[in-house]
């Protein structure tokens, strides 16, 4: 999503924030930093919104340690199953 394009925003959102995409972008990013920005993607199939939720900033810890642990166990299990077959 390119936040510098007016097509990324609802026209009334742009109008309410200085009437420019720069103003809308600044307001959006400020809302993200305060955990107050809500994202909702509408399609012709699901007009009320198909993908929705609050936007949050991601800290520098991606992927999470839990994810890495789960991946490690999966790889060990895969290696173990290969050793048993030989």
* Domain spans in the chain, listed from the N-terminal domain onward: 6-85
Q: Which helix (H) or strand (E) holds 31?
A: helix 21-33
What per-residue string of b and e applies to 5-27 under the rule 16 or more CB within 10 Å gives b?
Answer: eeeebeeeebeebeeebeebbeb
Distance CA 78, CA 62 (A): 24
Mean pLDDT, 10 residues at a time, the chain of 86 residues: 87 92 92 84 73 74 72 86 70
Joined tokens for residue 15: 């109008």
pLDDT one-digit tens code per residue, 34-58? 888 887 777 777 767 677 788 777 7
Joined tokens for residue 17: 């924030």
pTM above 0.85, yes or no: no
49 bridge partner residues: none
């Amino acid at each position: 999503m390119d936040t510098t394009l007016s097509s990324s925003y609802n026209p009334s959102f742009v109008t309410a924030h200085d009437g420019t995409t720069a103003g809308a972008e600044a307001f959006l990013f400020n809302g993200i930093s305060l955990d107050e920005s809500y994202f909702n993607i509408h399609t012709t199939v699901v007009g009320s919104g198909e993908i929705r939720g609050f936007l949050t900033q991601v800290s520098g810890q991606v992927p999470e340690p839990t994810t890495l642990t789960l991946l490690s166990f999966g790889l060990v299990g895969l290696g173990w199953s290969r050793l048993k077959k030989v």
